[in-house]
């Protein structure tokens, strides 16, 4: 996982392939982006499950 400020108002965290990212604005708004590359539907489901259950919700 990599995280950084992308401007003065938005903090972003994303996986190594940059397929899955979360942006948090200083006003509290949160956006989640998933742009799968070269994955079938089962791969997409597994990636979402892993990132949401194993990574982000443990935080």
Phi, psi (deg, nearest 5) at residue 34: -135, 115
Contacts of 11 (CB under 8 A, 6+ apart): 3, 4, 5, 23, 24, 25
- Give the whole-angstrom CA distance, residue 55 versus residue 16: 13
Q: What tokens does 34 get?
A: 């998933």
Structural domain for 6, as ranges: 2-58
Number of domains in the chain: 1
Give the global pTM.
0.62
pLDDT of 3-57, one tens digit each?
999 999 999 998 888 888 999 999 999 998 888 888 889 988 887 888 777 766 6
pLDDT of 11-22, one tens digit each?
999 888 888 899
């Amino acid at each position: 996982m990599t995280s950084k400020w992308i401007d003065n108002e938005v903090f972003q965290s994303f996986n190594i392939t940059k397929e899955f990212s979360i942006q948090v604005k200083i006003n509290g708004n949160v956006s989640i982006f998933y742009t799968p590359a070269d994955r079938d539907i089962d791969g997409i489901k597994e990636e979402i499950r892993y990132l949401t259950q194993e990574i982000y919700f443990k935080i």
